């Protein structure tokens, strides 16, 4: 078990993005493998270092590289980062959670102190050097805590490029509920960044996390750049984002399936799910202890509806699954809560406040457990038409479900507002130790008080196959993160070359053995997308490598069957 835990910690740190990042979520939506969507918000958050309701409706965008410093972090507790971004007509808003067990604020070199850095390039020009115009590098060092306004006034947050500081706000807040770390929240006027408040605007961005555990900066994590630490010199190393026209609010939008869409409830992550909004846990401290890491307990949920049903799949990470306990609520499970009229009552109303428990022990006997009403923890009176399926995965299990809207007393009407909560229970030994929730930050009274649920709204139909903006002229070699990731069994890999030359794109296992050759021919300058089918491969981590001329780039991906 110890060996297993050590291996899992290593895989988590190196491949955390492959496991978590691109299972296409709200903020983390990626178009064509290279364009990252920043949604527009209808509600401005309070800049206090905390998650307002609107932040909770966005998916987390995880750092994808942890090897940009001199060595890898020791564990998830040593260094881990995740972010969210949104915009309105005036400002760009950011939220970053930095897991960091040792915080160092004092060093002769400011760049060696613990910090979150944020980079933007308003015209996404991908320049080889900063243009002294709109290539901007900001450093929010932890040492600024409780003196944020003064450090804006004194321009201490600026590492390069920024000339206008009026209107900037940020707040750093230590996280006392977890294993250590801190939050950063900021508001930056778009005009300061020279970014026009126009949906469809392409910008360059990067997030960076610096970690000093003793006498110098040892660890660096980044969202985009996979190798090295030259973002402060070369804006061409930034990723690309787009100001999206999708509007978010304090209500999570459950999208309507396109007409004619059929979902088979088989526990598999169908392609349609990857295009939907999704929610990830925002609280992992509702039980007696925190999970050891994301392998120990983590859940991501996709939801959709049509004229008859609500559909969903919960992707649960769980390294130890316990199905036997005298108390059913202490067994490993995913729980769903609905309140059709969103009345936020202090207690269940015996009408439309509903609590469902999909325990892992039901695997292989799902229909019988619907018939015997074992999935109902409270409130549900009609079980006809309910389907669910549980399947084991290499990292835990999936729970897919279909529930008639009439059973939940939810009208199939766009704009309907409902109460919603998603919960994961984790028992690693003799009782339930960890509880993760989407909405509730403290405690475990969702089963008693519907007023503790979050809020969702039945949204507009999902638009599939929207035409993207034309890609920028290729000026450098790029190999994008595959999408979707994790995948089963197909995924897409996008690469770019700036001139005509021979290209080889191949896939390798963790031992370095080539398992697939996707491209081996002369290609003209441009951007290409290749489909990779891993039907004959086993679950695990794989590398894909681009060789073009004298350039070699490699990335990691995760196959989950």
Nearest to 306 by CA among 405, 159, 237: 405
Same domain, residue pair 10 and 48: yes
Q: Are 363 and 392 in contact (CB under 8 A)?
A: yes
Identify the weakest region by mean pLDDT among 78-82, 235-239, 307-311.
78-82
Rounded Cα distance, 555 and 482, in Å: 8
Which residues on adjacent β-strands are paired with residue 209?
116, 221
**Do 240 and 124 touch, CB atoms closer than 8 A?**
yes
In a shared domain, residues 138 and 95: yes
pLDDT in tens, 379-390: 999 999 999 999
Residues 94-132 have pLDDT tens digits of 999 999 999 999 999 999 999 999 999 999 999 999 999
pLDDT, position 178 = 61
Evaluate if residue 35 carries a pLDDT over 80: no
- Bridge partners of 73, per DSSP, are none
Q: Which of 85-94, 155-164, 299-308, 487-496 has the lowest mean pLDDT?
A: 487-496
Q: What is the pLDDT of residues 37-59, one digit of tens each?
A: 999 999 999 999 999 999 999 99
Is residue 468 included in any domain, yes or no? no
Q: What is the mean pLDDT of residues 296-313?
A: 95
**CA separation for the pair 339, 127 (Å, rounded):** 51
Is 90 exceeded by the pLDDT of residue 294? no
Q: Where do we find the tokens 């009552």?
A: 345
DSSP annotation of 190 reads H
- Give Cα separations from 335 to 35, 120, 212, 225 (angstroms): 33, 40, 39, 37
Residue of 103, 69, 325, 345 lying closest to 222 (CA atoms): 69
Q: Give the model's confidence band at 6: pLDDT under 50 very low, under 70 low, under 90 confident, else very high.
A: very low
Q: What is the mean pLDDT of residues 488-517?
A: 91
Tell me the CATH number at 103.
2.60.40.1190
Give percent of the chain with pLDDT exceeding 90: 68
Q: Count of domains in the chain? A: 3
Last residue of a domain, which of 192, 220, 248? 248
Q: Is the pLDDT of residue 378 over 80?
A: yes
What span, in angstroms and rounded, lies between the C-alpha atoms of 452 and 449? 6
List the end-to-end C-alpha distance of the chain, in Å, as a whole number.
23
Q: Looking at the domain assignment, is residue 473 inside a domain? A: no
Residue 451 inside a domain? The answer is yes
* Domain-embedded: residue 470: no
Give the count of beta carbons closer than 10 Å to the beta carbon of residue 289. 13
Same domain? For 20 and 76 the reply is yes
Residue 466 makes CB contacts below 8 A (sequence gap 6+) with none
The answer as to whether 327 is a domain residue is yes
* Residue where one domain finishes, among candidates 414, 431, 461: 461
Could you tell me which of 383, 355, 348, 349 has the C-alpha nearest to residue 369? 383
Q: Does residue 271 share a domain with residue 187? A: no
Range of the domain at 330: 252-461
Q: Is 520 helix (H, G, I), strand (E, B) or coil?
A: strand
As a whole number of angstroms, the distance between CA 234 and CA 215 comes to 27
Phi and psi (nearest 5°) for 37?
A: -90, 130
Question: Under a CB-based contact definition with an 8 Å cutoff, are residues 419 and 344 in contact?
Answer: yes
pLDDT (mean) for 333-340: 98
Cα–Cα nearest to 61, from 96, 89, 35, 110 = 96
Residue pair 47/252 in contact by the 8 Å Cβ criterion: no
pLDDT band at 293 (very low <50, low <70, confident <90, very high): confident
Of residues 453, 35, 66, 7, the one with CA closest to residue 222: 66
| pLDDT classification of 457: cutoffs 50, 70, 90 | very high
Tokens 């590098």: give the residue: 137
Cα–Cα dist 560/556, whole Å: 13
By percentage, how much of the chain surpasses pLDDT 70? 92
User: Same domain for 268 and 241?
Assistant: no
Strand boundaries in 410-500, DSSP class E: 417-427, 432-437, 454-461, 478-479, 490-497
The answer, yes or no, to whether residue 504 has pLDDT greater than 90, is yes
Is 24 a residue whose pLDDT tops 70? no
224 and 350, same domain (yes or no): no
Per-residue pLDDT band for 15 (boundaries 50, 70, 90) equals: very low
Q: What is the mean pLDDT of the chain?
A: 89
Closest alpha carbon to 283 in 126, 98, 423, 140: 423
Question: 307 and 231, same structural domain?
Answer: no
Q: How far apart are CA 453 and CA 382, in angstroms?
A: 22
pLDDT for the residue 34: 57
**C-beta atoms surrounding 510 within 10 Å:** 11
Are 48 and 187 part of one and the same domain? yes
What is the model's pLDDT at position 482? 87
Average pLDDT score over residue span 234-240 = 94
Residues 218 and 173 in one domain: yes
Bond preceding residue 558 cis, omega within 30 of 0:
no
What radius of gyration, in Å, describes the C-alpha atoms of the chain? Answer: 23
State the pairing for strand pair 432-437/396-404: unpaired
| pLDDT at 467 exceeding the cut of 80 | no
Angle at the Cα of 438 from the Cα atoms of 435 and 442, rounded to 5 degrees: 55
On whether both 216 and 298 belong to a single domain, the answer is: no
Position 442 confidence tier, pLDDT thresholds 50, 70, 90 = confident
Q: Is residue 309 part of a domain?
A: yes
CB atoms within 10 A of CB 355: 22
Last residue of a domain, one of 429, 461, 493: 461
Q: Are residues 320 and 399 in the same domain?
A: yes
Q: What tokens appear for 316 in the block? A: 């649960």
Examine residue 471 and state whether it is found in any structural domain, yes or no: no
Token representation of residue 358: 């999909």
Q: Do 350 and 498 have their domain in common?
A: no
pLDDT at 478 over 50: yes
The whole-number average pLDDT for the span 362-389 is 96
Note the pLDDT tens digit of each residue in 254-275. 999 999 999 999 999 888 888 8
Q: Residue 20's pLDDT is what?
A: 41
Domain assignment of residue 467, yes or no: no
Which H helix or E strand runs over 386?
none
Query: Any idea what the CATH number is for the domain that residue 493 is in?
Result: 2.60.40.1930
CA distance 43 to 40: 9
Kindly state the average pLDDT of the residues 233-238: 95
């Amino acid at each position: 078990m110890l060996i297993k835990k050590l291996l899992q910690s290593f895989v988590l740190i190196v491949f955390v993005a492959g496991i978590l990042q691109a299972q296409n979520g709200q903020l983390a939506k990626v178009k064509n493998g290279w364009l990252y969507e920043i949604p527009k918000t209808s509600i401005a958050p309070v800049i206090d270092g905390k998650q307002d309701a609107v932040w909770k409706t966005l998916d987390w965008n995880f750092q994808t590289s942890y090897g940009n410093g001199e060595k890898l972090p020791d564990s998830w507790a040593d260094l881990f980062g995740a972010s969210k971004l949104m915009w309105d007509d005036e400002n760009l808003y950011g939220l970053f959670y930095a897991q960091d067990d040792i915080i160092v604020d004092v060093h002769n070199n400011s760049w060696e102190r613990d910090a979150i850095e944020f980079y933007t390039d308003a015209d996404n020009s991908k320049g080889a050097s900063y243009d002294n115009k709109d290539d901007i590098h900001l450093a929010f060092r932890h040492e600024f805590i409780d003196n944020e306004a003064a450090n804006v006034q004194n321009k201490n947050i600026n590492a390069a490029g920024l000339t206008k500081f009026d209107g900037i706000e940020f707040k750093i807040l230590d996280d006392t509920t977890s294993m250590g770390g801190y939050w950063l929240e900021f508001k930056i006027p778009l005009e300061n960044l020279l970014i026009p408040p126009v949906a469809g605007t392409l910008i360059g961005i990067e997030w960076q996390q610096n970690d000093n555990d003793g006498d110098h900066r040892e660890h660096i994590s980044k969202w985009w750049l996979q190798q090295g630490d030259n973002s402060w010199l070369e804006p061409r190393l930034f990723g690309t984002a787009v100001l999206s026209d999708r509007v978010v609010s304090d209500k999570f939008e459950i999208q309507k399936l396109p007409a004619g869409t059929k979902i088979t409830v088989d526990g598999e992550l169908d392609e349609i799910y990857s295009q939907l909004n999704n929610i990830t846990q925002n609280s992992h401290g509702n039980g007696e202890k925190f999970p050891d890491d994301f392998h120990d307990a983590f859940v991501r949920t996709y939801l959709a509806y049509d004229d008859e049903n609500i559909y969903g799949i919960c992707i649960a990470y769980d390294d130890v699954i316990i199905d036997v306990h005298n108390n059913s609520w202490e067994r490993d499970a995913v729980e769903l809560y609905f309140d059709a009229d969103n009345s936020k009552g202090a207690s269940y109303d015996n009408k439309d406040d509903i609590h469902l428990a999909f325990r892992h022990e039901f695997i292989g006997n799902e229909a019988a457990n619907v018939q015997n009403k074992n999935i109902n923890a409270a409130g549900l009176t009609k079980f006809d038409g309910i389907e669910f399926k549980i399947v084991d995965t290499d990292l835990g299990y999936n729970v897919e479900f279909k529930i008639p809207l009439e059973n939940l007393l939810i009208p199939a009407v766009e704009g309907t507002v409902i109460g919603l909560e998603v919960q994961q229970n984790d028992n690693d030994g003799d009782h339930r130790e960890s509880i993760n929730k989407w909405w509730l930050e403290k405690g475990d009274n969702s089963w008693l008080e519907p007023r503790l649920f979050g809020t969702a709204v039945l949204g507009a139909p999902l638009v599939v196959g929207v035409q993207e903006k034309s890609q920028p002229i290729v000026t450098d070699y790029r190999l994008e993160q595959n999408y979707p990731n994790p995948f089963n069994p197909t995924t897409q890999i996008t690469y770019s070359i700036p001139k005509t030359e021979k290209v080889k794109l191949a896939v390798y296992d963790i031992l370095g053995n080539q398992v697939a050759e996707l491209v081996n021919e002369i290609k003209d300058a441009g951007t290409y997308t290749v489909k990779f089918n891993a039907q004959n491969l086993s679950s695990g981590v794989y590398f894909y490598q681009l060789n073009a001329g004298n350039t070699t780039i490699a990335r990691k991906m995760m196959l989950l069957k």
